[in-house]
């Protein structure tokens, strides 16, 4: 497996593969890899001649300095996992390589980056859009793999690709969960034993809220969800029902309209997100 750290040698590697007629698949990550990431990598390996993963903790998408500082970094273990998964190359630049200066360019995604994560993490999706654009320009993938776990992020990237004509096919893979239902996340590593047990209630709440849609008023569902999470020591930041394509938030559930139920919580000082299609 090639370890690529600087832009010039990465471009040479990609150019060689392209000249040989190889297709390139990309799995962008921030590292601290788990089975959710590896599922994307397996799909990428199966569907492309060359599978590239990127590992880069992107500073400009963090609006909380503590979250950035505490984000787990496990590069040696990650590269071993990628090699075992059959990945052909990993692009793992440092922050100075990606940003010689703080980018002047920022991106506005309209409603898509104003609601939900965008509301609680101002600037986050502009940072995501900038780094994904840089990764697409450097690595020139034919196909890029993302997870439904970051549902809003996928819609943002889809908009980016549509609006700016990136020649990339996007794949959105299902959420991989722990046995107790908790969505796998690099941030789960930061949960202590007690918090990890409490965190299982996030997905249980999502499932029970989804079952009650159309039976109870959504405002009532939300209040009950908040109370249930509070009993588990979890603080609800938002629980929202939204249109699956536009993310326009909905006050009432209609079975005919494809929607998504999205949640963000704090378990101690660890912020976790999850969602379920309804």
- Supply the DSSP symbol for 35: H
Burial of 6 (0-12, 13-18, 19+ CB in 10 A): exposed
Residue 61 touches ligand AMP, criterion: CB under 6 A: no
Residue 161 touches ligand AMP, criterion: CB under 6 A: no
Whose Cβ is closer to ligand AMP: residue 58's or residue 198's?
Answer: 58
Picking from 4, 85, 102, the residue whose alpha carbon sits closest to that of residue 45 is 85
The distance of closest approach from Cβ of residue 216 to ligand AMP in the complex, given in angstroms and rounded to an integer, is 28
Whose Cβ is closer to ligand AMP: residue 71's or residue 218's?
Answer: 71
Residue 175 touches ligand AMP, criterion: CB under 6 A: yes
Q: Is 37 a catalytic residue?
A: yes
CA terminus-to-terminus distance, the chain? 40
Q: How many residues does the chain have?
A: 278
- Hey, which residues between 178 and 217 contact ligand AMP (CB under 6 A)? 183-186
Rounded distance between C-alpha atoms, residue 17 and residue 263, angstroms: 41
Give 88's contacts (C-beta < 8 A, 6+ positions apart): 1, 2, 50, 51, 52
The distance of closest approach from Cβ of residue 98 to ligand AMP in the complex, given in angstroms and rounded to an integer, is 14
Residue 149 touches ligand AMP, criterion: CB under 6 A: yes
The distance of closest approach from Cβ of residue 250 to ligand AMP in the complex, given in angstroms and rounded to an integer, is 23
Q: Any idea which residues carry the catalytic annotation?
A: 37
* Interface with ligand AMP (CB under 6 A): 29-30, 36-37, 40, 146-147, 149-150, 173, 175-176, 183-186
């Amino acid at each position: 497996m090639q370890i690529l750290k600087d832009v010039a040698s990465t471009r040479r590697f990609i150019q060689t593969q392209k000249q040989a007629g190889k297709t390139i698949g990309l799995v962008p990550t921030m590292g601290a890899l788990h089975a959710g990431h590896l599922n994307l990598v397996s799909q990428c390996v199966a569907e492309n001649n060359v599978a590239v993963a990127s590992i880069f903790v992107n500073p400009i998408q963090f609006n909380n300095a503590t979250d950035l500082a505490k984000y787990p970094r496990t590069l040696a273990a990650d590269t071993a996992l990628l090699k075992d998964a059959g990945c052909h190359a990993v692009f793992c630049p440092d922050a100075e390589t990606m940003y010689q200066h703080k980018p002047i360019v920022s991106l506005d995604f309209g409603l898509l980056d104003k609601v939900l994560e965008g509301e609680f993490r101002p600037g986050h999706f502009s940072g995501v859009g900038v780094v994904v654009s840089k990764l697409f320009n450097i690595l020139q993938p034919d196909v890029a793999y993302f997870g439904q776990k970051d549902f809003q992020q996928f819609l943002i990237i889809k908009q980016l690709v549509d609006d700016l004509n990136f020649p990339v096919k996007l794949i959105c893979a299902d959420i991989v969960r722990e046995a107790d239902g908790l969505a796998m996340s690099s941030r789960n590593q930061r949960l202590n034993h007690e918090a990890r047990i409490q965190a299982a209630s996030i997905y249980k709440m999502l499932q029970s809220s989804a079952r009650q849609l159309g039976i109870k008023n959504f405002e009532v569902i939300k209040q009950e969800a908040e109370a249930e999470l509070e009993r588990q020591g979890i603080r609800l930041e938002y629980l929202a029902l939204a249109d699956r394509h536009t993310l326009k938030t909905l006050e009432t559930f209609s079975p005919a309209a494809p929607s998504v139920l999205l949640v963000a919580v704090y378990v101690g000082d660890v912020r976790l997100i999850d969602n379920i299609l309804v």
